[in-house]
A and B are shown apart, each in its own frame.
Chain A
Amino acid sequence: MTEPISRPPKKDPQKVTRPPELPPLERSRASLKLSASAARGVFALQVCEACGTIAYPPRDACPGCLSTGLEFRPADDGGEVIAETVVRTSTDLYFRQRTPWRVGTVRLDCGPSIVAHLHGDVVVPGRVRMVSKLDKSGNAVLMALPTGETENMADDLEFRELTADPKFRRVLVTDGRGVIGQAVASALSKAGASIVFVGIAEPWKPFPGQERLAAIPNVQVMELDLTDTISVNELAGEIGGKTDILVNTADHVRPGGLLASRSLVTARDSFDVNVFGLQRLAQAFGPGMRARGADGTNSAAAFVDVLPVYALANTPDFGFYSASAAARHSLLQCLRAELRPGGVRVMSVFTGPVEDDWRQHVPPPKVLPGKIAEAVVAALRGGIEESFVGDVARDIATRFLDNPKVLERELGL
């Protein structure tokens, strides 16, 4: 079993906050494909299309037949750890702050023997399950885990570096008026967040679930209107220094394409929440989070955005909404690069349509708010940069990866 992490003490105001350091940043283009799989939580390795050899580390030509036809495909994650060592010092600034660091050699069932990070509960020699995760630099690293669950497994310090586990962290959920925000707040409270701040815009307007929300353990309801720069800045002034995880659940949904309305009013409202709201959050909370990326057990860890999968391709029945989602997606890509120096992860949780007043005419399947909440917690616990919740989101993502232009035509039928 892993020694459970303990509730972090209150911050010592006399101590300098440890500045975030990053593990090595540079990787080859082939390696970045490994990272792309890890970003989606998939353990994938290069497979030679000519001879079937599985290659690791990523390279440009097959070590067996020199073919350049190497493609990343999901791989068997079983293996056997055959040797281990512990790094006790390093010239690398990131690892220097984190030694001792356990590494080992794993003979994968699918072929290659690799050097990987070892979870503290792995017994040597013994069977392991491999995972591919993004480190604080956003690069894939392989880690060997015990084959089954062990006690307090997520608390392993090496593993926690690869995740943004909400345990003992302080979270801000930006929109508690909606069912998604309420479900996310509840799930994060259950996942061990020490405080769940929940933003409420226009508190003079009553909303369904108000009392239930306030009754969730560790929830603190705060005034927050993403369309109001002053409101966002004021909340950041209040809690920005202790916001370890930010989950943006705000989403302004309106049906209609570009020609549906002659007015700019609704379009502007959508952008004000979905795009500029994200901007206001990032600008108010981002710099503080980036500075606190290595601040102990409750370091700043992740900025999560729950956004529609139509960010990837426009669905004309929600044309403007899709456009705002695409802008949101683009800004998340920007923010991902900008928060990386702090080791703060930017996570996109793409969803299909949920069952709400605006999508009553949209045929099923729909996503339940609880499923989105589960996905947010899973992304944080698994360090997953891009997740897709629900059948529609997964289907759109698959078709997008296959051919974006075909998808455009399919959605535009």
Chain B
Amino acid sequence: MTETPKKDTAGLLAALAAGIKGSGIEVVDLTHTLTPDFPVMVLPPELGQCQPFRIEEVSRYDERGPGWYWNNISMSEHAGTHFDAPAHWISGRNLPHGTVDQLPFEKLIAPAVVLDFSRESAVDEDFLLTAAHIEAWEGENGRIEPGVWALFRTDWSKHLGTPKYLNLREDGAHSPGPDASAMEFLVKERGIAGFGTETIGTDCGQGNHMSPPYPAHYILHGNGRYGLQCLNALDRLPARGAVLFAAPLKIRHGSGSPLRVFALVPAGAGKD
């Protein structure tokens, strides 16, 4: 248990609230709007399919409900900006607390480091993040501490609404992602809490053809770590110093969930 004295904690929270309300701390929304045309993962059609977000109006101040407006929504656990729990992947199927209803809450609020490889991704749609890339990043930005969210910035979120977002061709999707060495490094050498991307999954578009297949999913979830994907606005975060809030819906035995992800950032620290 933590040794922090109680009065300091209260002061800390008050200072945080004051910082958010007044100035000093900027809240950055990292979530895309859930819309029916938001793409989902494409799998061979004979397999079970990921249902995109759908919304059906129940009433809108009309004969179906004169004084109120509300909708029914439906979607896959993995639609829009969403969270992957360890149980999402076969490698994490036997881990304790592996579903979204059982996650240890304190791990979901954690500092974030932003690995900016947007320039590399702009010239190479199949850019693979390797352990060597991360070590080079640490050379400039310092060592990645345990328990942080590692966010992989590619600026891919800017392709949303265009075919480039999935970049689907006959040989599958083409978008950047990490290789197994990067994931092994982040998970085992650095002990990150989770890994977040701007693309449709934590893996690259061609992840199925890697070893192991879908290395980010396999290694993250096999070691009890989390995934965040379809993130937005990573270009507004500093390389270090942001604190991420990423709590999924409490779905019994859920493998993941759409969620609102936001970050607290020291004002003026955002990049670009």
Interface residues, chain A, with chain B CB atoms under 8 Å away: 202-206, 223, 225, 227-231, 263, 265-266, 269, 357
- Cβ B51 vs Cβ A265 within 8 A: yes
Q: Cα distance A230–B170 when bound, in Å?
A: 29
- Cβ B36 vs Cβ A204 within 8 A: no
- B15 is an interface residue with CB less than 8 A from chain A: no
Give chain A residues whose Cβ lies under 8 Å from the Cβ of B48.
263, 265-266
- B49 is an interface residue with CB less than 8 A from chain A: yes
Query: Given that A204-B162, A205-B42 are contacting pairs, would A225 and B169 also be in contact in the complex, using a CB cutoff of 8 Å?
Result: no
- Residues of chain B in range 37-85 having any CB-CB distance to chain A below 8 Å: 37, 39, 42, 45, 48-49, 51-52, 54-57
The smallest C-beta distance from A35 to any residue of chain B, in angstroms, reads: 36
Partner pick for B163 among A203, A230, A231, CB 8 A cutoff: A203
- Chain B interface residue count, CB cutoff 8 Å, equals 20
Query: Can you list 21 A-B contacts (CB < 8 A)?
Result: A202-B39, A203-B163, A204-B39, A204-B162, A204-B165, A204-B166, A205-B166, A206-B168, A206-B169, A223-B37, A227-B52, A227-B54, A228-B52, A228-B54, A229-B55, A231-B36, A263-B48, A265-B49, A265-B51, A266-B48, A266-B49
Give chain A residues whose Cβ lies under 8 Å from the Cβ of B163.
203-204, 206
Q: Cα distance A230–B169 when bound, in Å?
A: 27
Partner pick for B37 among A228, A229, A269, CB 8 A cutoff: A228
- Cβ A225 vs Cβ B51 within 8 A: no
Q: Cα distance A265–B77 when bound, in Å?
A: 13
B 151-193 to A, binary, CB cutoff 8 A, 1 in contact else 0: 0000000000011011011100000000000000000000000
Q: Cα distance A264–B51 when bound, in Å?
A: 12
- Cβ A229 vs Cβ B56 within 8 A: yes
The smallest C-beta distance from A304 to any residue of chain B, in angstroms, reads: 26
Partner pick for B168 among A205, A228, A229, CB 8 A cutoff: A205
Give chain B residues whose Cβ lies under 8 Å from the Cβ of A357.
45
User: Which single residue of chain A is at the shortest CB-CB distance from B53?
Assistant: A228
User: Which single residue of chain B is at the shortest CB-CB distance from A228?
Assistant: B36
Per CB-CB distance, the 7 closest pairs between chain A and chain B, nearest first, are A228-B36, A204-B163, A265-B48, A230-B36, A204-B39, A205-B168, A204-B166
Q: Cα distance A344–B204 when bound, in Å?
A: 51
